A and B are shown apart, each in its own frame.
Chain A
């Protein structure tokens, strides 16, 4: 009888090719996603005169730079160059690309699960920190830098040191209008933006099992904002039901064989973690960020912090600078904060369930501020249109756009203006993230919709 193992131990063990004396292991990569931003790595490949090792396991998605309106035209030459360069690399190296005109194009972390490319038990990498998203399927998925992208392109492998294992168990059930985004922000504000630094996080407990696939994807997506290397949820019937029938997923007997293997992907009784965190779902209110780090999250009913009440001078300075950047007064009631625009999109919160939640709040109402809705993928967009969600957004006064990373990172020109305040379903409220001197408040899709309706940060529970 072998020693009990965690889910992560099992994923790790099944990908180790060899382990060096110094403890670094060479791991096999099952899926490698690339995007327009991978250009540095392809240049590295060309400079060495190397070939792509596994075109069949490499998938490209145009998402970071693609425009969300007026497609397929790309008026900006520099942006067009980025999109074209990815197409040229896909052609040259022979891998499947979901390009700007592809009916299945979207954000890489939405497209992977949607296409059945993301499966339990796989090791998945991409040159994007939010690759942790795919762990929602019980996969080992993490973001890598350009040097590592180049290494994977050339060898389909990566050197890694086994990370520490951390389990976050969430007991109970989330309350009405409380979403996976609130849960994710609650985790980050509890452990800190570096609280899970470098760790492999497994989420467990009743509140996690009760999450839909979309909710699990949101939670694993945001785990990087708590510093985690990767995050995961053990696969179950919810996972298997999602995978069934997806284009690139196994079918028929092959799927039965796979599901039998996937059922083993759970943490064994008695397996130990380096760190355990226990949380209660009942403690979680709708959260918003007030500052410039995702850890700066508070209940919507709370007040912005007061640096004068802080004993640590470095902390007081941090709070004062964050409040100043965000244009908030110390102790200001968060529900009085007036917003200039809203954004619903990104790999965090632009799946069909997210759009339904936002549309549920906006139905029959008007937005007081302008806003952009960019679905997570072209297929999500199509599904939303079948359900009539596009009409709800448009009738509320918001712009219904195409899919891409869009205003989460602003590379395609979808920017928040300097000094403007945006209620956003995205993942980062860093200084300048959505545009130079832009002010970002992170929250769930329903909370963004509520902010659109009232023109200020609003407790969605009060809108009914």
Chain B
């Protein structure tokens, strides 16, 4: 997994709340292999009409090189589809800043190296307003947990474990493989003490 330390990049203000995963990637695209690239599917129905023609949405005009997105509350709510993160990642987004995130989305984001940075609603509004006025890159520093844009700076919150995973680019499976013996011991004990946990075979 890619590490995340600091990022200075153009940021797209997405002044929407409850941006659910059905909007981030409509279900009809999820049967496609990842190798096809999921970037075009990001927020597809906001960006393209029936014929696939661009509607001139900000991601295709002023913010087509954005690597950071700023949104309102409850970003990534809804379905567990990791494809929502694939769409953001393949478009080029590496960090989403919002006052709150869908729980499964935030977990999926970190497992793909994308930073979900939680800020206060006031700081989100300040960033959205600022981005609307001037195009200026945002700097996100995960070590210091700060977001800087010109003379504006605010902190952000992320679970300490997720922060370390992103900073180090850790892969869960590598960590789990260190516990193979403990897993085997646990399995034997659980099935021994609680035999009902095994499905009755037909």
Q: Is the CB of A161 within 8 A of B187?
A: no
Q: Is the CB of A432 within 8 A of B23?
A: yes
The docked-state distance in angstroms from the alpha carbon of A15 to that of B17 is 36
Q: Which residues of B have CB within 8 Å of A148?
A: 107-108, 111, 172
Q: Write the B99-124 contact mask toward A (1 if CB under 8 angstroms, else 0).
A: 01011100110011000000000000
Q: Which residues of B have CB within 8 Å of A255?
A: 196
Closest to A318 in B: B17
Q: Most chain-A CB neighbours within 10 Å: which of B77, B80, B107, B173? A: B80
The answer, among B161, B198, B200, for a CB contact under 8 Å with A23, is: B161
Q: Which residues of B have CB within 8 Å of A116?
A: 199-200
Q: Which residues of B have CB within 8 Å of A411?
A: 27-28, 30-31
Q: Which residues of B have CB within 8 Å of A121?
A: 194, 197
Q: Write the A15-38 contact mask toward B (1 if CB under 8 angstroms, else 0).
A: 001100011101010110000010
Q: Is the CB of B176 within 8 A of A122?
A: no
Q: Is the CB of A22 within 8 A of B82?
A: no
At the interface, yes or no: B155 with Cβ under 8 Å from chain A?
Answer: no
Q: Which residues of B have CB within 8 Å of A79?
A: 31
Q: Is the CB of A430 within 8 A of B200?
A: no
**Binding-face segment, B88-96, B133-141, B143-151, B178-186:** B178-186
At the interface, yes or no: A349 with Cβ under 8 Å from chain B?
Answer: no
Closest to A248 in B: B199
Q: Is the CB of A161 within 8 A of B18?
A: no
Q: Is the CB of B30 within 8 A of A145?
A: no
The docked-state distance in angstroms from the alpha carbon of A3 to that of B136 is 54
Distance in angstroms from B185 CB to nearest chain A CB is 8
Closest to B159 in A: A161
Q: Is the CB of A227 within 8 A of B103?
A: yes
At the interface, yes or no: A4 with Cβ under 8 Å from chain B?
Answer: no
Q: Is the CB of A82 within 8 A of B31?
A: yes
Distance in angstroms from A192 CB to nearest chain B CB is 8
Q: Which residues of B have CB within 8 Å of A117?
A: 199
Q: Is the CB of A28 within 8 A of B74?
A: no
Q: Is the CB of A227 within 8 A of B78?
A: no
Q: Which residues of A have CB within 8 Å of B198?
A: 56-57
Q: Is the CB of A26 within 8 A of B179?
A: yes
Q: Is the CB of A431 within 8 A of B22?
A: yes
Q: Which residues of B have CB within 8 Å of A129?
A: 78-80, 104
Q: Which residues of B have CB within 8 Å of A56?
A: 198-199, 201
At the interface, yes or no: A242 with Cβ under 8 Å from chain B?
Answer: no
The docked-state distance in angstroms from the alpha carbon of A314 to that of B72 is 9
Q: Write the A249-273 contact mask toward B (1 if CB under 8 angstroms, else 0).
A: 1110011011001000000000000
At the interface, yes or no: B55 with Cβ under 8 Å from chain A?
Answer: no
At the interface, yes or no: A433 with Cβ under 8 Å from chain B?
Answer: yes
Q: If A82-B31, A197-B100 touch, does A28 touch B190 (CB 8 Å cutoff)?
A: yes
The docked-state distance in angstroms from the alpha carbon of A82 to that of B190 is 35
Q: Is the CB of B187 within 8 A of A292?
A: no
Q: If A157-B183, A194-B74 touch, does A431 touch B23 (CB 8 Å cutoff)?
A: yes
The docked-state distance in angstroms from the alpha carbon of A234 to that of B30 is 36
Distance in angstroms from A8 CB to nearest chain B CB is 15
Distance in angstroms from A232 CB to nearest chain B CB is 16
Distance in angstroms from A138 CB to nearest chain B CB is 13
The answer, among B164, B175, B200, for a CB contact under 8 Å with A247, is: B200
Q: Which residues of B have CB within 8 Å of A257?
A: 195-196
Q: Is the CB of A57 within 8 A of B80?
A: no
The docked-state distance in angstroms from the alpha carbon of A18 to that of B190 is 14
At the interface, yes or no: A147 with Cβ under 8 Å from chain B?
Answer: yes
Q: Most chain-B CB neighbours within 10 Å: which of A117, A154, A314? A: A314
Q: Is the CB of B111 within 8 A of A147?
A: yes
Closest to B199 in A: A248
Q: Most chain-A CB neighbours within 10 Å: which of B26, B50, B159? A: B26
Q: If A194-B77, A251-B200, A431-B45 touch, does A145 touch B31 (CB 8 Å cutoff)?
A: no
Q: Write the B65-94 contact mask toward A (1 if CB under 8 angstroms, else 0).
A: 000000011100111111101000000000
The docked-state distance in angstroms from the alpha carbon of A283 to that of B179 is 50
At the interface, yes or no: A327 with Cβ under 8 Å from chain B?
Answer: no
At the interface, yes or no: A155 with Cβ under 8 Å from chain B?
Answer: yes
Closest to B176 in A: A155
Which A165-193 residues have a C-beta within 8 angstroms of B?
Answer: 193
At the interface, yes or no: B34 with Cβ under 8 Å from chain A?
Answer: yes
At the interface, yes or no: A143 with Cβ under 8 Å from chain B?
Answer: yes
Chosen A-B contacts, 24 in total, with CB atoms closer than 8 Å, are A14-B190, A18-B179, A23-B160, A28-B183, A48-B173, A129-B80, A145-B81, A145-B107, A146-B108, A148-B107, A148-B172, A159-B172, A161-B159, A193-B77, A194-B77, A197-B100, A248-B200, A250-B195, A258-B196, A293-B20, A428-B79, A430-B78, A431-B23, A437-B45
Other CB < 8 Å A-B pairs besides A314-B15, A432-B22, 18 of them? Answer: A17-B183, A17-B186, A18-B182, A40-B82, A78-B31, A143-B80, A145-B82, A145-B111, A147-B82, A148-B111, A151-B172, A155-B173, A161-B161, A198-B103, A247-B200, A248-B200, A250-B195, A292-B18
Interface residues of B (CB under 8 A from A): 15, 17-18, 20, 22-23, 26-28, 30-31, 33-34, 45, 50, 72-74, 77-83, 85, 100, 102-104, 107-108, 111-112, 125, 159-161, 164, 172-173, 175-176, 179, 182-183, 186-187, 190, 194-202
